[in-house]
Each structure stands twice: as structure tokens, then as C-alpha cells.
């Protein structure tokens, strides 16, 4: 091991003091008494996210402004209690969960869209606006905010930035960080800073906006975001096809590139996904369908007409059958239902779903799927694979009975080996869900100790007392 990496500054252990009466009194003075909760029934919902493990905070604080958050963080540093920021609370890795107690800062009162600038293509928003609300507001102005996590109706823009959220449209449009022009952030020690600005080009100083993207609520609390927009595409279309194997379906993806098509979305579903969704909803997918590909394109009406034909040809040449095309929103929705209704359908395979989101270079997706299937067979566990073939980000879901301890252990072993396979294929252990505390034990499978050392030093420089979201990312 490199000797320089043994000298990460130690973080002062936070002491849990948020429930002291004088601390609560100060919090009430800062945000108003009606916005500080301590009752168990009110704080409990703030103690879990989508993975449903419970770590209730001692208090919940709902500020309205950056200045209030700055004061709360200064108090937290003075009295040494942990603070965890929360958006919509639908993260998949426990990021918003107050693992070491203390207070949760909920951002739901910071829910105003401040400005939509059509000429300069940006929106200025507070962090507590949901992804869906933001998309709807800009679309009403003929503009488009592409990042689209499937949780878009519940997730907040602040949470999206902190997790650098992706979604189905990343294949063409990229992830959340590609839309962040500037931020207002309260640092862990309670200073309000502005990063970036309102222009696409900006190379003044270090790129602190990018540093905040994916920082999992550990380097500061985002209180305002300026997000880049693009014109709303005139038309969209979707092509759906079934295949006899995942390898055949995935082979169409590089073929689309060779045909000079960049699909908006390119989603693949495996055999177990199809059996589940067919049994539940009866889409008429035949027994010979062992994989399914959904490809969406957008652009001008003329362009979409042209590209849709090319997509149809590519999937047919690649062995696709039952090829369907949809060009109206309603018809497209019907084709996408098979993907949208998948998550509820696979619940029948087990009461516990270990939902991982590994990513590999997209040409390696078929290799990843084969390795995961082999891992599942070897550990006698059941796996469902689906996801974003267009960018190589595959949701690998190991399903088992929550009460069967041996089965749960086997599934976790399969998860570890899946992470190793993804790294071995040139990818990594998370494409969009982040690390939180759930994946923290696996961080060193994906990052060198030197890189982890640099990250820990950045954290220490900004948060010397380790009060902001302790227990996450680093074990
Ligand atoms: C059904 C379902 C589907 C999903 N689909 C996708 C998908 O397609 N793509 C994808 O990328 N993810 C997906 N996710 C995961 C998740 O929704 C995203 O990570 C989302 O960005 C979380 O947003 P949130 O507002 O719920 O954040 P939270 O869960 O509340 O918080 C997540 C992290 O962000 C931090 N945070 C929250 N607000 C702030 C702030 N203002 N400043 C600083 N830090 C903050 C928290 O401390 C925490 O570390 C899905 C989740 C579910 C349950």
C-alpha cells in the first residue's frame, strides 16, 4: 500500500446531541417552531428511503431558505451533532437515512421554480421541486429537461443532483450532471457559496458544481440549482421487438450506432422479466421471446420517420421478431408498459429484492448477463436482469425470501460476485443509484485506495467535524 494514503485526517466523532432541549430551542428559533418535529410518528418517515431499513432521526427540521440551513449547520458544528439532507426519500442506497442519528433537514418547503429562461435555455429552481414538476413546467414553455429517473414523480431535483441521477434517456442525453450549470450550496460548516453560473461555458476555477454532483449529501446542501435545458423535440417514436436471446437483443445497440442512430432510450429485458410481466399483465409475448428491446428516437417529425425505419430494419436484421412501432404518445405508452410494469411484476419472485445497478461498456452487456446468470446458478439464487442497454447500466435483481437467512446470504454473495464481474468487464458497481451505506463495503472493489484517500481528504477539508451525512460512502 502506498504510504501517503495512510494519513487521511481523522474526523471528529460526532456526538448525538440534537435532542438536547437547548439545541431544539435554537432549531425552533432558526426555522420556526412548527417546522421542527420530534414526535416519533412524525420523524419515523424521515428515517428510511426506498430500501426500507429504519434509522429514525432525533429531530426533523424543515427550513425555507439557505440562510436557515447555514445557521443550522453552524449550530451542528458548534454542538457536534449529525445532519442529513433529504429530498424525496426514494434513494436506493440509504443515502438520506440518518445512520448515526441527529437531525434530518427536509427540503420539501424549498419547492419553488424561480425562473425559466427560454432564450438562454435554463431553469433556476429550489431543490425540493420534484423531477416531474420541473419537467412539466419547462415543457409548457416548449423546453426539455431530459434526466428522467423512474422515480421522477417522487424524487427531488436536490436528490437527483446529489445522486447524479440517470434514467432511460441517458443513452442520448446523458445524466443529471450534464444539465447542472450552477448551484447555490451551504457547505457543511455553514457557508453559502455559489458554483458555476448560467452559461454553458464556464472554466473559472475548480468545477465545484461537478464536485457536488453525485456527492451524496456529504459535501454540502444544495439550496438552488440552475439547470440547462434543450428545445423540446418535435416528435418521438418507439420500436419494440422480441428476440431469442439477450445476446441477440444487445447486439442491436452497437449496430444502431453504426447506422448513425443515437436512440433516446434503449432498454432491454431478459427472459425472467418477460415471464413475470407476461404472467401478470398478458402482453401476448410468446414463449419463444427470451429477450425484449425497446428503442425510442426523437427529433423533427421527418427525422423521426427516417430513424424509426432504420431502427426497425436493424432489429429485424438482428433477429428481432414481433416488431412493433408506435408514433403517437398513447401507442408509445402501450409499448413502454411492458417496461413500466416490470418492477411490480417481479415481486412474485421473492419478498426481498437486492436491486443492483452495475454498469459496463455497452458492448459488454451480453457478457455481463451471461456471467450474472452463471453466478445465480452457482449460488442457487434467482435473478432478473433488465435496464439501460443503450448505456450499459443494467439492473441486476437477486430475488429471495427475506425470512430465509441462507437464501439471503447466497444472494448477497451473488451481489459481491456481480460487482467483481462488472469491474472485470471494464465497468463499475453503480451507474446511477450511488453508494450510500448499502454499497459502502464494496467501494474498494471499484476504486483504488489512492482515489479513496483523495475523496476522504476532500470530505475532511469541507467537513472537518464529519457532521454532514456521516456513515455514507466510506466504511
Ligand atoms: C422506483 C424507483 C425507481 C428509480 N429509478 C431510478 C432511475 O431510473 N435512475 C436513477 O438514477 N435513480 C433511480 N432511482 C433512485 C432514486 O430515486 C434517485 O437516486 C433519486 O435521485 C433520489 O432522489 P431523492 O430526492 O429521493 O433523494 P433522497 O433519497 O432524499 O436523497 C438521496 C441523497 O441525496 C442527498 N440529498 C437530498 N437532497 C439534497 C440536497 N438538497 N442537497 C444535498 N444533498 C441532498 C441525501 O442526503 C442522500 O444522500 C429510483 C428509485 C426508485 C424507488
DSSP notation for 373-431: HHHHHHTT-EEEEEEETTTTEEEEEEEE-TT-HHHHHHHHHHHHHHHHHHHHTT-BSBS
Probe target for ligand 1 pocket from 85, 159, 216, 388, with the most ligand atoms within 8 Å of CB: 159
Q: Which protein residues touch ligand 1 with a CB less than 6 Å away?
A: 49-50, 84-92, 95-96, 107, 127, 149-151, 155-156, 158-160, 162-163, 165-167, 216-217, 221-222, 432-433, 469
Q: Are residues 22 and 38 in the same domain?
A: yes
Residue where one domain finishes, among candidates 314, 343, 372: 343
pLDDT at residue 354 tops 80: yes
Cα–Cα dist 31/262, whole Å = 48
Which value, in Å, is the radius of gyration of the alpha carbons in the chain? 23
Give the domain extent around 178: 1-232+440-475
Q: Is there a single domain that holds both residue 177 and residue 296?
A: no
Query: Into how many domains does the chain fold?
Result: 3
Largest CA distance in the chain: 71
Let me know if 11 is exposed, middle or buried by CB neighbors in 10 A (0-12, 13-18, 19+): middle
CA of 381 to the centre of ligand 1 (A): 28
**Residue found by looking up cell 432498454 in the block:** 267
pLDDT digit string (tens) for 6-49?
A: 555 656 566 656 778 899 999 999 999 999 999 999 999 999 99
Nearest of 427, 471, 256, 96 to residue 396 by alpha carbon: 427
What is the pTM for the complete model shown? 0.96
Instruction: Retrieve residue 227's grid coordinates.
Output: 439547470
The confidence score (pLDDT) of residue 1 equals 40
What mean pLDDT comes out for the span 438-447?
A: 97
% the chain with pLDDT above 90: 94
Measured in Å, residue 237 CA sits from the centre of ligand 1 at 28
Same domain, yes or no, for 9 and 68? yes
Domain end residue (candidates: 343, 366, 393) = 343
What percentage of the chain exceeds 70 in pLDDT?
Answer: 96
pLDDT at 204: 97
- Residue at which a domain ends, from 323, 343, 363: 343
Asked if residue 268 and residue 198 are part of one domain, the reply reads no
Same domain, 163 and 115: yes
C-alpha cell belonging to residue 207: 468545477
CATH number, domain at 385?
A: 3.30.70.2740
- Degrees to nearest 5, angle at CA 467 with 471 and 151: 60
50 and 198 housed in the same domain: yes
**Distance from C-alpha of 378 to C-alpha of 387, rounded to nearest angstrom:** 23
The CATH number of residue 193's host domain is 3.30.465.10
Same domain, 1 and 90: yes
Considering the chain, what is the average pLDDT of its residues? 95
User: Looking at ligand 1, which residue's alpha carbon is closest to its atom 20?
Assistant: 160
Q: Going by CA atoms, what residue is nearest to atom 5 of ligand 1?
A: 150
pLDDT for 19 equals: 75
What is the average pLDDT across 145-167? Answer: 97
pLDDT reported for residue 84? 98
Give the pLDDT score at 14: 61
Here the cell at position 190 is: 455553514
CATH code for position 294: 3.30.70.2190
Strands (E), 137-278: 143-144, 180-186, 192-196, 221-228, 230-231, 235-243, 265-270
Same domain, 130 and 189: yes
Q: Are residues 38 and 152 in the same domain?
A: yes
- Residue whose cell numbers read 428545445: 231
Identify whether residues 354 and 456 lie together within a single domain: no
Ligand 1 centroid to 165 CA: how many Å? 7
Return the DSSP state at 434. Answer: -
Between the CA of 455 and the centroid of ligand 1 the distance, in Å, is 21
Look at residue 475 in the predicted model and tell me its pLDDT.
84
pLDDT in tens, 370-429: 999 999 999 999 999 999 999 999 999 999 999 999 999 999 999 999 999 999 999 999
* Number of residues assigned to the chain: 475
Q: How sure is the predictor about 5, in pLDDT bands with cuts at 50, 70 and 90?
A: very low
Which residue minimizes the CA distance to atom 9 of ligand 1?
149
Q: Same domain for 457 and 333?
A: no
Residue 237 has pLDDT above 90, yes or no: yes
57-90: b (≥16 Cβ within 10 Å) or e? bbbbbbbbebebbbbbbebbbebbbbbbbbbbbb
Same domain, 335 and 356: no
Q: Where are the alpha helices (DSSP H) in 219-291?
A: 246-258, 271-281
Terminus-to-terminus CA distance in the chain, angstroms? 18
68-110 pLDDT, tens digit each: 999 999 999 999 999 999 999 999 999 999 999 999 999 999 9
138 Cβ contact partners less than 8 Å away, ≥ 6 residues apart: 116, 123, 144, 145, 229
Predicted confidence (pLDDT) at residue 2 exceeds the cutoff of 60: no
**Probe target for ligand 1 pocket from 147, 155, 386, with the most ligand atoms within 8 Å of CB:** 155
Please give the distance, rounded to the nearest whole angstrom, from the Cα atom of residue 155 to the centre of ligand 1: 6
**Separation of 434 CA from ligand 1 center, angstroms?**
9
Amino acid at each position: 500500500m502506498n504510504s501517503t494514503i495512510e494519513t487521511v485526517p481523522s474526523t471528529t466523532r460526532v456526538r448525538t446531541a440534537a435532542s438536547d432541549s437547548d439545541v431544539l430551542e435554537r432549531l425552533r428559533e432558526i426555522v420556526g417552531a412548527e417546522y421542527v418535529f420530534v414526535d416519533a410518528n412524525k420523524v419515523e418517515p424521515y428515517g428510511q428511503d426506498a430500501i426500507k431499513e429504519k434509522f429514525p432521526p432525533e429531530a426533523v427540521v424543515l427550513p425555507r431558505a439557505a440562510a436557515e440551513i447555514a445557521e443550522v449547520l453552524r449550530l451542528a458544528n458548534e454542538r457536534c451533532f449529525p445532519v442529513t439532507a433529504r429530498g424525496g426519500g426514494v434513494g436506493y442506497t440509504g443515502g438520506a437515512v440518518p445512520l448515526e442519528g441527529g437531525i434530518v433537514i427536509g427540503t420539501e418547503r424549498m419547492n419553488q421554480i424561480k425562473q425559466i429562461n427560454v432564450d438562454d435555455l435554463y431553469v433556476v429552481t429550489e431543490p425540493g421541486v420534484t423531477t416531474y414538476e420541473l419537467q412539466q413546467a419547462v415543457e409548457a414553455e416548449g423546453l426539455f429537461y431530459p434526466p428522467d429517473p423512474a422515480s421522477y414523480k417522487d424524487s427531488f431535483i436536490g436528490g437527483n443532483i446529489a445522486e447524479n441521477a440517470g434514467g432511460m434517456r441517458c443513452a442520448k442525453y446523458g445524466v443529471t450532471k450534464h444539465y447542472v450549470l450552477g448551484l447555490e450550496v451551504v457547505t457543511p460548516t455553514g457557508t453559502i457559496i455559489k458554483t458555476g453560473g448560467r452559461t454553458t461555458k464556464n472554466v473559472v476555477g475548480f468545477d465545484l458544481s461537478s464536485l457536488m454532483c453525485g456527492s451524496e449529501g456529504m459535501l454540502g446542501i444544495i439550496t438552488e440549482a440552475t439547470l440547462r435545458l434543450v428545445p423540446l423535440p418535435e416528435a418521438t417514436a418507439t420500436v419494440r421487438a422480441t428476440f431469442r436471446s439477450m445476446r441477440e437483443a444487445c447486439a442491436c445497440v452497437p449496430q444502431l450506432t453504426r447506422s448513425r442512430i443515437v436512440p433516446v432510450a434503449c432498454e432491454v429485458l431478459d427472459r425472467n422479466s418477460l415471464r413475470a410481466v407476461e404472467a401478470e399483465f398478458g402482453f401476448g409475448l410468446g414463449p419463444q421471446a427470451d429477450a425484449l428491446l425497446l428503442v425510442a428516437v426523437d427529433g423533427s417529425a421527418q427525422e423521426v420517420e427516417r430513424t424509426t425505419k432504420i431502427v426497425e430494419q436493424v432489429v429485424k436484421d438482428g433477429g428481432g421478431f414481433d416488431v412493433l412501432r408506435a408514433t403517437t404518445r398513447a401507442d408509445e405508452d402501450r409499448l413502454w408498459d411492458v417496461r413500466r410494469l416490470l418492477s411490480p411484476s417481479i415481486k412474485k419472485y421473492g419478498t426481498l429484492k437486492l436491486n443492483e445497478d452495475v454498469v459496463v461498456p455497452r458492448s459488454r452487456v451480453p457478457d455481463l448477463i451471461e456471467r450474472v446468470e452463471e453466478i445465480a446458478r452457482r449460488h442457487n439464487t434467482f435473478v432478473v436482469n433488465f435496464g439501460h442497454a443503450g448505456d450499459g447500466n443494467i439492473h441486476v435483481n437477486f430475488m429471495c425470501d427475506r425470512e430465509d437467512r441462507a437464501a439471503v446470504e447466497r444472494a448477497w454473495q451473488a451481489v459481491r460476485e456481480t460487482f467483481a464481474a462488472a469491474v472485470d468487464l471494464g465497468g463499475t458497481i453503480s451507474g446511477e443509484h450511488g453508494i450510500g451505506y448499502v454499497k459502502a463495503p464494496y467501494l474498494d472493489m471499484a476504486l483504488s485506495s489512492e482515489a479513496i484517500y483523495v475523496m476522504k481528504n476532500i470530505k475532511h477539508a469541507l467537513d472537518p467535524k464529519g457532521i454532514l451525512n456521516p456513515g455514507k460512502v466510506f466504511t
